[in-house]
């Protein structure tokens, strides 16, 4: 897929307890809220685990990120389905490289925004 300014790419994922366990093991983020279920039996997903959604879209398009900005708006819980929408804001050739800038918004299954941000980098 050849990207261009204005393109919108989406990706969706439902997070599981196993996802949180694996990310806890890899990251060392063992906050009590990530390992102790709430009254509904859910764990809160690590913010950076949620942030893997826009990085997955970048990875699918061979983006070598230079900057990434995240604003975590509300918690994400296990069994939440998060839809990430990335909009290409800049895509241009410069100095024998293709530079990209994109904005993203992630919403849960209730259409509530959980994460917004942007990234910039180069296409490999």
The 10s digit of each residue's pLDDT in 46-81 is 999 999 999 998 899 899 999 999 999 999 999 999
Q: Where are the domains of the chain?
A: 8-123
Cα 38 to Cα 23, 35, 41, 114, distances in angstroms:
19, 10, 5, 18
- Both tokens assigned to 21: 């366990």
With bands split at pLDDT 50, 70 and 90, how would you rate the model's confidence at 1?
Answer: low
CA 61 to chain centre: 14
Task: Name the DSSP class of 81.
Answer: E
Topology annotation, domain 8-123? Thiol Ester Dehydrase; Chain A (3.10.129)
**Are 88 and 3 in contact, with CB atoms under 8 Å apart?**
yes
């Amino acid at each position: 897929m050849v990207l261009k300014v204005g393109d919108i790419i989406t990706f969706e994922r439902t997070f599981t307890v196993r996802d949180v366990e694996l990310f806890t093991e890899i990251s060392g983020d063992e906050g009590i809220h990530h390992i102790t279920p709430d009254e509904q039996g859910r764990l809160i997903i690590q913010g950076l685990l949620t942030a893997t959604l826009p990085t997955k879209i970048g990875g699918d398009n061979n983006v070598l990120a230079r900057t990434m900005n995240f604003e975590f708006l509300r918690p994400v819980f296990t069994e939440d389905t998060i839809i990430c929408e990335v909009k290409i804001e800049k895509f241009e050739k410069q100095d024998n490289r293709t530079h990209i800038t994109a904005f993203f918004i992630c919403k849960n299954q209730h259409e509530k925004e959980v994460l917004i941000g942007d990234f910039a980098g180069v296409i490999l």
